[in-house]
A and B are shown apart, each in its own frame.
Chain A
Amino acid sequence: MELPQKKYYRQRAHSNPIADHCFEYPSRPDDYNWSTLFPKTIEQEQKNKQVEFLDVGCGYGGLLVTLSPLFPNNLMLGLEIRVKVSDYVNDRIQALRSQHPDQFQNIAVLRTNAMKYLPNFFHKGQLKKMFFLYPDPHFKKAKHKWRIINKWLLSEYAYVLAEEGIIYTITDVKDLHEWMVEHFVEHPLFERISDEELKSDIIVDKLYESTEEGQKVTRNNGDKYLAVFKRIPDGYNPY
């Protein structure tokens, strides 16, 4: 099987995440047949294995492909709202699996709206890592509600993420970077991880260049702003 050509899968950049779309989704995580996404791992090896890394708005899937060999024992899923783009990632993974038997079995893509349906797919505290790489900036103030990071969505991300779990963000838009940092820092369930601590994290290096958007920013000599956060326990004590 050959790798897909991107030219057949291009699509208008933004789709409205608030409007109704036609998605298939389970009413509960256990109702989903995960072995369709990870046939080899789930059918032949570990029946109860669950997704632990989530790339939200994965675009053309560069991060998944990069991380796949580095974390062979973790299932990773990309979520992408656009039909053609998610289909590209799927064709790409299928082709990689056919060219390299026994590899790329731990990555998959799902077309869905990550702003609406995370609790349909993931249990509380199931995820270990979440990625928001070069998310759509939605510059205009009226469109800020379309941004994938906001106060209320952070509560939902905190719900699916395990305590000590990590959220990685990177963007070339300074204003969006500041917006994301502000929202995470203000949220009682997240804490920013210092640059010092990040030095030992092998993932951090991969965030700059492994995705298509990251490569584009490099070509255009754009800036890159990284911010990484940890899910902390709720410090609220009623007594």
Chain B
Amino acid sequence: MTSIAVNKNIIAITRGLRIDCYDYSNHKIIDVESRDANDSISDIVIASNCEYLAIITSMSKQLIIYNWPTFKTKRKYVLPRSASKIRFSPQSDHIFVADKTGDVLMYDISKEDDGIKLLGHLSLLLNVLQTSDRKFIISSDRDEKIRVSCYPNTYNIHTYCLGHTEFVNHLEFLPHNNKYLTSTSGDGTVRCWDYVTGKMHYSIDTFLDINDETLKDDFAKVMIDEGIEVNSLPIVHYAVTKKDESCSILAIAVYNFNKILVYSLNSDDECFRHRLLQKIDVEQLPSSLALHGSSLFVYFDVKGTVLIYTIKYENTNISIELEKTVQIFVNDQSNGVSDMENKQSIKLLYKRKFDNVQEYQERKKQRLGKV
């Protein structure tokens, strides 16, 4: 779930059923219609050709594509099921939908049909991505899996990228070398994969840079009351950008950790290296993150602000400075997403533990004892 999308000209931010598109001088507000009072926009993306903006809504299950910069509605689809994530194809002519029953659907945005189902997992899907050569569709789910399917022959599963130990919520190609896929997870790691072989090449454990056992224990306690056992702080937001031909910048927000971790990730051939560039202090968990060029955008929906940081490269030194603060939804009374709601949504990504095996084994032991 993302509530900010940026390109070179605009920042588009969502709250409730509203989109605020800011072009660095004016705000254009779009209201999405819905009959459902509890409805909200659950994801927003901008096509890489900059011609379209797309959103989905949580309750009314709309997928709306707007022309940019006119903001006229180009297409409106009603999805069969509630979706987690939408993505444009590299050519911006199709849109992929990852839904909560495990399906990946594809809509040709030049058509007004019901789309087609490309593949299905038996798990809640969290993300989907197409490779730039269009040969593969990559999808990730709540059951720790990243699946790489051939395209258009999606019935053929090419490989899996396996290793995460919790849900896999973000997928991005490594910006400076799109032969590699990066992913983030509830297990607190970012992993780097060769998606053709399924081999993991690198992993960054964010907890090594958080290093706060109390924070982890507190989260574990809250979750255990829900019947969920956790051993790590989950990554919630993730954004990437290219620095140069051998280096990318990653920005990461971890649940309940009031700092944004910014890393550089270098690769020469198959040799990876990462460096923590900065921990940016923030007042609370942001609602979303985005990176574009050398700008980092941090959105707080409750306060209606977007902080824009600039990443400065001087020789080998990289620094990150707050450039400006943008107020959004200025005269809007609607509320942002509360901590409570954040907790509810993260909870759904974990599996509840109920151990019916142990109980059975104990009864069996008693039975055998009696004989």
A interface with B by C-beta (< 8 Å):
8, 17-18, 20-22, 27-28, 83-84, 87, 111, 115-117, 119-120, 124, 151-156, 158-159, 187-189, 234, 236, 238
Contacts and interface: CB of A to CB of B under 8 A. Distances in A.
Contact of B364 (A21, A87, A152, A187): A87
B145 A236 contact: no
Given A22-B355, A87-B364, A115-B122, A27 B163 contact: yes
Interface in B98-152: 119-123, 135, 143-145, 149-150, 152
Interface range for B: 20 to 34
A27 B203 CA distance: 15
Given A28-B163, A87-B364, 8 more contacts: A22-B356, A83-B356, A152-B122, A155-B149, A155-B155, A159-B160, A189-B156, A236-B156
Given A20-B352, A153-B122, A187-B155, A84 B360 contact: yes
Query: Main SS of the interface on chain B?
Result: loop
B153 A236 contact: yes
A20 B351 contact: yes
8 contacts: A8-B364, A20-B352, A87-B364, A119-B160, A155-B119, A236-B150, A236-B152, A236-B153
A154 B157 CA distance: 10
A-B pairs with lowest CB-CB distance, top 3: A152-B120, A236-B153, A159-B157
B58 to A, nearest CB: 22
B162 interface: yes
Nearest to A235: B153
Contact of A119 (B145, B165, B353): B145
Interface of B: 119-123, 135, 143-145, 149-150, 152-157, 159-160, 162-165, 351-357, 360, 364, 367
Residue from A27, A115, A117 having most chain B Cβ neighbours under 10 A? A27
A87 B145 contact: no
Contacts of A158: 155-157
A32 to B, nearest CB: 12
B157 A155 contact: yes
B214 to A, nearest CB: 27
Nearest to B163: A27
A40 B163 CA distance: 28
A158 B150 CA distance: 13
Contact of B156 (A22, A111, A151, A234): A234
A188 B157 contact: no
A214 B308 CA distance: 68
B367 A8 contact: yes
Contacts of A116: 122-123, 143
B164 A27 contact: yes
Nearest to B165: A27
A119 B153 contact: no
A130 to B, nearest CB: 15
Contacts of B356: 21-22, 83
Interface centre among B163, B165, B357, by most chain A C-beta atoms within 10 angstroms, is B357
Nearest to B143: A116
A84 B363 CA distance: 11
B194 to A, nearest CB: 15
Nearest to A8: B367
Contacts of A27: 144, 162-165
Nearest to B159: A124
A189 B162 contact: no
Contacts of B135: 238
A189 to B, nearest CB: 6
Contact of B162 (A87, A120, A154, A234): A120
A145 to B, nearest CB: 9
Given A155-B157, A159-B157, A234 B150 contact: yes
Contacts of B351: 20
A187 B155 CA distance: 8
A238 B156 CA distance: 14
A119 B163 CA distance: 11
A110 to B, nearest CB: 13
Contacts of A17: 122
